[in-house]
Chains A and B, each alone.
Chain A
Amino acid sequence: MHPVYLDYAATTPMRDEVRAAMLPYLSDDFGNPSSLHRWGRRAAEGLAAARATAASALGAKPSEVFFTRGGTESDNLAILGRCRALHAASGTTPTLIVSAIEHHAVQDAAVSAERGGEVRRVVLGVSEAGQVDLDALDAALEAGAAVVSVMWVNNETGIMLPVAEIARRVEAAGGTLHTDAVQAIGKVPVSVVDAPVHLLSATGHKIYGPKGTGLLFARTGTTVAPLLFGGGQERALRPGTEDVAGAVGLAAAMRLVVDEQAVESERLRALRDRLEARVLAGLDGVRINGGSAVRAPHISSLGVEDVDGQALLMALDLEGLAASGGSACASGSTAGSHVISALYGADDPRATVRFSLGRTSDQIDVDRAADVLTRIVSRLRGLDGAA
Chain B
Amino acid sequence: MSRILVAMSGGVDSSVAAALLVEAGHDVVGVTMKTYCYSETPSHSKTCCGLDGILDAKRVAAALDIPHYVFDVEEDFTRDVIDDFVQEYAVGRTPNPCVNCNSKTKFKELLARGRALGCDQIASGHYVRVRHSDGGSALLRGLDPDKDQSYFLWAMPKEILPKLLFPLGDLTKTEVRAQARALELITADKPESQEICFVPTGDYRDLLKKRLGDVHPALEPGPLVRRDGSVVGEHGGYAGFTVGQRKGLGGGFPESLFVLEVRPTTREVVIGTRDELFEDTVEISQLNWLAAAPLVGSSVVVQLRYRSEAVPAVVSRLDESLVLALEAPEAAISPGQSAVLFDADARVIGGGRIARGYTRASI
Contacts and interface: CB of A to CB of B under 8 A. Distances in A.
B71 A310 contact: yes
A331 B115 CA distance: 21
B359 to A, nearest CB: 46
Interface of B, helix, strand, loop or mixed by DSSP: mixed
Interface in B1-55: 29, 34, 54
B178 interface: no
A318 B117 contact: yes
A314 B116 contact: yes
A127 to B, nearest CB: 30
Given A317-B67, A318-B67, A332-B54, A386 B72 contact: no
Contacts of A360: none
B263 interface: no
B70 interface: yes
B29 A318 contact: yes
Nearest to A330: B70
B110 to A, nearest CB: 12
A139 interface: no
Given A318-B29, A332-B34, A332-B54, A386 B69 contact: no
B72 A333 contact: yes
Nearest to A335: B72
Nearest to A313: B69
Interface residues of B, number: 14
B70 A332 contact: yes
Given A317-B67, A318-B29, A318-B118, A311 B113 contact: yes
A334 interface: yes
Interface string B56-74: 0000000000010111100
B112 interface: yes
Interface in A319-336: 331-334
Contact of B72 (A312, A318, A332): A332
Contacts of A317: 67, 69
Interface in A279-332: 308, 310-312, 314-315, 317-318, 331-332
Contacts of A315: 116-118
Interface in A152-185: none
Interface in B92-150: 112-113, 115-118
Contacts of A318: 29, 67, 117-118
A308 B115 CA distance: 12
A140 B34 CA distance: 41
Contact of A383 (B29, B34, B71, B116): B116
A308 to B, nearest CB: 7
Contacts of A333: 72
Given A317-B67, A318-B29, A311 B116 contact: yes
Given A314-B117, A318-B118, A387 B54 contact: no
Contacts of B113: 308, 310-311, 387
A20 B321 CA distance: 75
A387 B109 CA distance: 7
B342 to A, nearest CB: 32
Nearest to B3: A318
Given A317-B67, A318-B29, A387-B112, A311 B72 contact: no
Nearest to A334: B72
A383 B69 CA distance: 20
A30 to B, nearest CB: 32
B117 to A, nearest CB: 6
A383 B117 contact: no
Nearest to B72: A334
Contacts of B71: 310, 332
| Interface core residue of A333, A380, A387 (most chain B CB under 10 Å) | A387
Nearest to A385: B112
A383 B72 contact: no
Contacts of B29: 318
Interface string A355-383: 00000000000000000000000001001
A318 to B, nearest CB: 6
Contacts of B118: 315, 318
B142 to A, nearest CB: 29
A383 B115 contact: yes
Interface of B: 29, 34, 54, 67, 69-72, 112-113, 115-118
Given A332-B34, A334-B72, A383-B116, 7 more contacts: A308-B116, A311-B113, A312-B116, A317-B67, A317-B69, A332-B72, A383-B115
7 contacts: A308-B116, A311-B116, A312-B116, A314-B67, A318-B117, A334-B72, A387-B112
Query: Nearest 5 CB-CB pairs, A to B?
Result: A332-B70, A311-B116, A387-B112, A334-B72, A386-B115
